[in-house]
Structure 1
Amino acid sequence: MYHRLDSKVFAETCNNAARFLMLCALRQALRGTEQFKNDAKGIIICIVDKEWIWHAKSAATLLMTGGRERSYYDDFRRPVHIIGETQRRTTHKGAEDSAVFRPEHQAIYLATSLDGVRAALQLAADVIVNISPPTARHIVAARKVLGVGDVDLQLATAIAEQPAEIVIGLTARHSLKELDIASLVKPTTGPDRLPKLSTLPGYGPARHWVDAIKQDVNDWREDRIPWSDVDRGILLMGPPGTGKTLFGTALANELGFDLVKTSVGEWQGTNRGYLGDMLSAMSRSFADATSRRGAVLLVDELDAIGDRSTMRGDQAYYEGNVIGRFLDLTTHALEQPGTIIVGATNYAHLIDGAVLRSGRLEKHVYLELPEDEERAEIFAYHLNQAVAPKDLREITDKLALATPADLEKLARAAKRAARIRKGDIAISDIKAILPAQVPLPETVVHRICVHETGHALMAMASGVADVISIRVESHMVEGQPIQDGGRLHYKMHNEALPTEKDLLARIRIMLGGTAAEEVVFGTRSIGAGGAIGSDLDQATRLAYRLVGSYGLGKWLRYQVGANRVDESFVPSPELRAEVDGILAREYRAAKELLTKEKTRLLRLSAELVVDRHLRIEKR
């Protein structure tokens, strides 16, 4: 590529406003590539707005040839190609319809969408980059080299938001003094975009990061900092219903960015799910995000992307290519000004470590169930503030196990009840739609308190958390499993990339509840099992992953992908025996420790019976 043009070519370029503007836009987008910095060989795919694509071709040809005529370029050796657009002066089909070839030096392909670029060319490309329309600063520079009147940045910004023909015309106009800036500002129609994170309750653990990135984006927009100084990747972890998907939407609205929403499952379900289909769908999502002037790319179910450290067998080639391509696309996208990636998962430990490293999804936030005050605020928000949060506490304090998604569902039902009676929402509407609650016998509450305290003491003894909180219900929703009568909250120190010691500690913590029951009452209840997601279910699955997927058992082996250890998984007798041994060993360890701590176990569980809430901190 030609970084400098000779005086004659530069003078000719300066007289062509459209070419100069797109030359600036191309250089800005490509300056971080090896092809631009070191003149490396390669195929470059550029995604350009349709109204700018022919101007981009003129500028790209200038960038590649320096303005020198090169008649020996034939269809296969031309440096610049346009894909999917009708030629202006000829019906001749070019190299875009030919087989993919490696260029002798460099080749640029221009397209209005990655959807129109064949999968083979996408995979062969060394760089896929979005070419944003010319910016206000490009317009200021163009008017200077054209020798027309200066323009202030505010007016240039308004001009840059117009269609291409208006931008080009006004850039070349001799004087803009009589131009009414108000006439260029696009009218806003409809209500403000909602929700914004600043208007949403909850999300306490992520608030500091959100405030920081909002300031960073504002500074970037004002050209006070480069995009590389902005935090651009975050992983949201936590149980279903805690608002991970809503976070991505609200973040985009807060920043004034577009939202591009997708999931790994959506990529896998494209056509027949073949590798090429999967990679093409993934590339399209990233290209969609980077083609915008500002976008939040929300990738749900990120755990399904896989982990190369656990891959073996027939799926290794497929999954290895998927992860490799995802890493490349993520790195490239985060380098593009205005692109932020939000990953969401219920199982962070199933994600490849390279995805979570610094420079990619480097910020990790665990979203738990809301506390009392947050729960009332979330419910009030979904009721459109028709009822004050303080007036909802008598209701929401009894819904300690409700997720934000549960509260939204209840709010919809309450608003429907108010519409049916043709009145404003009242407390009576909310109480009318609440599921019936059944009081729990004190003996049952006592056992639940012992069970949950057992979990807490094991977590504290394992050293995986510093602060643990427990909540126990006095009433249960009719039909709700008794296993949901208590809830333990804590954040593990090493959530994203746990070690063998961490995983065994998790198993021990999960078994601590039923071990505590046996220590105190001499018998065990069904509280640890009976349902998917129960203590025993989680402990068993984790043990199978530990020995059959992570290679952390007696043998260094891989038998099944960690994300495939579900109800359909049928383990070998050998694997089952090893898992039985791990569960038995960790249960014994939990029981021995709780026996030694029996006095503390009884005292804390008694406090929990009285207060229904307990907080334990590291001593």
Structure 2
Amino acid sequence: MEHRIDETTFSKLRTTPAKFMMYCALRRALRTTDQFRKNERGIIVGIVDEAWIWHCKSAALLLLTENRDAYSYDDFRRAVHVLGLKSKKARVNEVDDVAIIHPDHQVIYLAPSLDLVPRALRLAADVIVDIKPPSARHVLAARRIGGVDDLDLSLAEQIVLQPADIVVGLAARRSLTALDQSLLQEPVGARSRTPTLSELPGYNAARPWVASLKQDVADWRKDVISWTEVDKGILLAGPPGTGKTLFATALANELGFDLIATSVGDWQGSRSGHLGTTLSAMSKSFADAASRHGAVLFIDELDAIGDRARMRDDHIYYEGNVIGRLLELITHLFEQPGAILVGATNHPLLIDPAILRSGRLEEHIYLDLPDEVERAEILSYHLGKSLSALELRPLTDKLRMATPADLDKLARRAKRAARSRGGVINLKDVEAVLPAKVLLPEEVVHRICVHECGHALVAMASGHADVISIRVESHMVAGETVQDGGRMHYQMRDPALPTEKQLLAKMRIMLAGLAAEEVVFGERSIGAGGVQGSDLDQATRLAYRLAGSYGLGKSLRFQVDASRVDQSFAPTPELRTEVDGILAREFRATKELLAKEKGRLMRMSAELVVDRETRIERG
């Protein structure tokens, strides 16, 4: 591949902004590949938006052949192929021309979708890349090499949101000084059509369900299947700021459906939340969705609807009627063709089980904090792809606890900083608005590593976890608690009917961080408690369930519904004493286990101090 453009080629690019912009986009997509960096031979498959694909073909020819039309080799007639689309000059689709031969040079296959790439070619490809449309920076560059510099970043960001033909036209326009920018504003209702879920980074946990739903909706539209065969309900759970509302919007766009967004708070806020007006507001939202013949109804704060097992006596009539009516409305909604229901919550355990059963909100997806790759991709997306994910990684790798909402906020501040100085956004703008960080002392980092490794060792010893990942922070965001300095993630193999032994194993995992600190340092820190949801909070609640609800304590007496342990609950002195005994007994057992593994514990934590993250798998 040609890394430099000669004078003749450059002069041609100056007058063809579409080719130039896609040339930049193509280089951006390929810059990390060996085919680009080391000029290694191979088959490259690029997925590119159909509206840009022919411009991309011209750019790819330029990149591979230095503006020659073809190689002189015998094994390929062309250096660049387009799959699944018919060019204006061709009588047949170019996909018919595919002959997979291991090349002695480089060849690029372009397709608007990976589905249009033959399976054999996908397997033979050395590289498969996603070629994004031109960014705002590319539009600015196209104008400048064309000899005009009358475009600022904020206007360029509006331009790249337009269809491809408008982007090309504005990049080629002689002057933008007199441009009526109101024509770039989206028409009423258009904003809800973008972005689609396919365009958004992250959401990896939900993508398999979305892909199946999209296929089912397509088959339903073609009358291949009836609406009764489509999965219609999903619950999104996760910490605040993980993109649950944006997911619903993007899902509607992906399906080509309308979005009706509401929340339990909206229903209850209707005329002071009187029962009749609350039920009326609920019914109106569902009726609106049912009438569209293609709608996603999004209900936020679903946990606020209540749970009949947790109701206070003075709320039974109100909450019972609300939940009962909601169940009726869901059932009726799913009988209407084209209606999808998305619920969102930060507290899934507080939702009535009847709402979450099969046939209602039956798919449950947990949206966790984004990983290293996702953080960079999300920030790049919110910056309008002006900076690539690869460029942003050195900065986003420092934001391990950032939510997608945090990254969106960061992008807005960075763009504002760039506008203030009148320039194109760069890494310094992003770095300037990063949240203030306080360096954690090494002894604190070491303690956090010991704490998290204690959890991991006991989890592996339980036999109920196969893969465990740990990561710790070197810094903490000013004003946040040190409890967020480390995080262990594992997937428990939860049995359908857990036994006492299995529940106690979970309790020991919860207590293992504290136990590890005592084994190594001879004393414990506050890192396992202090807030709801902490290790100690979870262990205590589980102990109350064991002794007071499950009949797994000293007596078989049932004292409290298991769900009420998470609410206002005043245990008897006898139950309190028994729970204290359970926690003390399991803490001793956990400490004994870790004392035997002290050498391994110290070795693992020392490695974690250096690496800051690790992954453990059962052998």
TM-score range normalised by the length of the shorter chain: 0.5 to 0.7
Q: 1:451 to 1:196 in 2, by over 3 A?
A: same
After superposition, the Cα gap between the structure-2 partners of 1:604 and 1:414, relative to the gap in structure 1 and judged at 3 Å, is same
After TM superposition, the structure 1 = structure 2 runs for residues 148-187 of structure 1, keeping only pairs within 5 Å, are none
8 Å CA contact retained: 1:311, 1:558: no
- Which range is displaced more, 520-529 or 557-566? 557-566
Q: Is the contact made by 2:232 and 2:339 (CA closer than 8 Å) also made in structure 1?
A: yes
- Would the alpha carbon gap of residues 557 and 293 (structure 1) be closer, same or farther in structure 2, given more than 3 Å must change? same
Question: SS at the partner of 2:205?
Answer: helix
Query: Distance between the aligned counterparts of 1:405 and 1:516, measured in 2?
Result: 34
The answer to whether the Cα contact below 8 Å between 2:550 and 2:562 also exists between their aligned partners in 1 is no
Residue 164 of structure 1 is matched in structure 2 by: none
Tell me what 2:36 maps to: none
Structure 1 contact 453–513 (Cα < 8 Å) conserved: yes
**Amino acid in structure 1 at the alignment position of 2:320:** G
User: Distance between the aligned counterparts of 1:386 and 1:608, measured in 2?
Assistant: 35
1:558 pairs with 2:557 = no
Q: Using the TM superposition, give the Cα deviation of residue 279 of structure 1 relative to its aligned residue in structure 2, in angstroms.
A: 2.7
- Find the counterpart in structure 2 of residue 408 from structure 1: 408
Question: What is residue 399 of structure 1 aligned with on the other side?
Answer: 399
Q: Give the secondary structure class of the aligned counterpart of 1:415.
A: helix
Aligned to 1:340: 340
What aligned pairs does 1:354-365 form with structure 2 within 5 A after superposition? 354-365=354-365
Match of 1:434, SS state, is: coil
CA distance in 2, matches of 1:425, 1:495: 51
Q: Output one character per residue of 1:579-602: Cα deviation in whole Å (capped at 9) or x when no partner.
A: 434433432333233233333322
Moved more, 505-514 or 199-208: 505-514
- TM-score with structure 1 setting the length: 0.63
Structure 1 residues 393, 489: CA separation in 2 closer, same or farther (over 3 Å shift)? same
Please name the residue that 1:389 is paired with: 389
Report the TM-score when normalising by structure 2.
0.63
Cα contact 2:541–2:565 (8 A) shared by 1: no
One-letter code aligned to 1:455: H
| Inter-partner Cα distance in structure 2 for 1:300 and 1:552 | 37
Other-structure match for 1:224? 224
- For 2:419 and 2:273, the matched residues in 1 are separated by 45
- Alignment-mate amino acid for residue 524 of structure 1: R
Tell me the residue number matched to 2:446. Answer: 446
CA RMSD of aligned residues (A): 3.0
**Which residue in the other structure is 2:583 paired with?**
583
Could you tell me whether the CA contact under 8 Å between 1:310 and 1:550 is conserved in 2? no
Paired residue for 1:480?
480
User: What code does the residue aligned with 2:254 have?
Assistant: E
CA shift for structure 1 position 575: 5.2
Tell whether the 8 Å contact from 1:353 to 1:497 is kept in structure 2 after alignment: no
Report if aligned partners of 1:270, 1:278 keep a CA contact under 8 Å in 2.
yes
Residues 491, 299 of structure 1: alpha-carbon distance in 2 compared, 3 angstrom cutoff: farther
Alignment-derived partner of residue 288 in structure 1: 288
Residue 430 of structure 1: aligned partner:
430
- Aligned match of 1:460: 460
> Unpaired runs of 5+ in structure 1?
1-186
Query: Identity across aligned pairs (percent)?
Result: 69
User: SS state of the match for residue 369, structure 1?
Assistant: coil
Deviates more, 1:274-283 or 1:304-313: 304-313
1:447 partner amino acid:
R
- Cα distance in 2 for partners of 1:345, 1:408 equals 20
Alignment of 1:495-514 (within 5 A): 505-514=505-514
Contact 1:551 1:558 in 2 (8 A): no
Question: What is the distance in 1 between the residues matched to 2:279 and 2:496?
Answer: 25
Is contact 2:309–2:561 with CA below 8 Å preserved after alignment? no
Q: CA offsets, 1:189-234, max 9 Å, x none?
A: 8568222100000111111111111111111112221111111111
Cα displacement string for residues 523-548 of structure 1 (whole angstroms, at most 9, x for unaligned residues)? 11122223444333444455557767
How much does 1:297 deviate?
1.2
Paired amino acid for 2:529: G
Give the equivalent residue in structure 2 for 1:471.
471
* CA distance 1:520–1:290, change in 2 (3 Å): same
Amino acid in structure 2 at the alignment position of 1:352: D
In 1, Cα distance between the equivalents of 2:217 and 2:524? 55
Report the Cα offset of residue 561 of structure 1: 6.2
Please identify, of 211-220 and 505-514, the stretch whose mean Cα deviation from structure 2 is larger: 505-514
Structure 1 match to 2:67: none
CA distance in 1, matches of 2:412, 2:397: 19
Letter in 1 for 2:476: M
How many pairs were matched up?
Answer: 431
1:353-388, Cα deviation, whole Å (9 max, x unpaired): 332222111212122111111110011111111111
* Cα drift, residue 315 of structure 1: 3.5
Taking the TM superposition and a 5 Å limit, the aligned residue runs for 1:83-102 are none
Counterpart amino acid of residue 527 in structure 2: G
Question: How has the CA–CA distance of structure 1 residues 361 and 503 changed in structure 2, closer, same or farther, with 3 Å as cutoff?
Answer: farther
1:294·1:339 contact (CA, 8 Å) conserved in 2? yes
Matches within 5 A, 1:196-215: 196-215=196-215
Instruction: Assess, with a 3 A threshold, how the Cα gap between structure 1 residues 190 and 405 changes in structure 2: closer, same or farther.
Output: closer
CA contact (8 A) 2:452 2:513 kept: yes
Residue in 1 that maps onto 2:525? 525
One-letter amino acid of the counterpart of residue 432, structure 2: A
Separation in 2, partners of 1:263, 1:558: 31
Residue deviations 1:39-63 (CA, integer Å, cap 9, x gap) = xxxxxxxxxxxxxxxxxxxxxxxxx
Note the residue ranges of structure 2 that are not aligned, 5 or more in a row. 1-186
Moved more, 249-258 or 556-565: 556-565
SS of equivalent residue, structure 1 residue 354: helix
1:70-90 deviation digits (Å, cap 9, x = unpaired): xxxxxxxxxxxxxxxxxxxxx
CA distance in 2, matches of 1:487, 1:415: 31
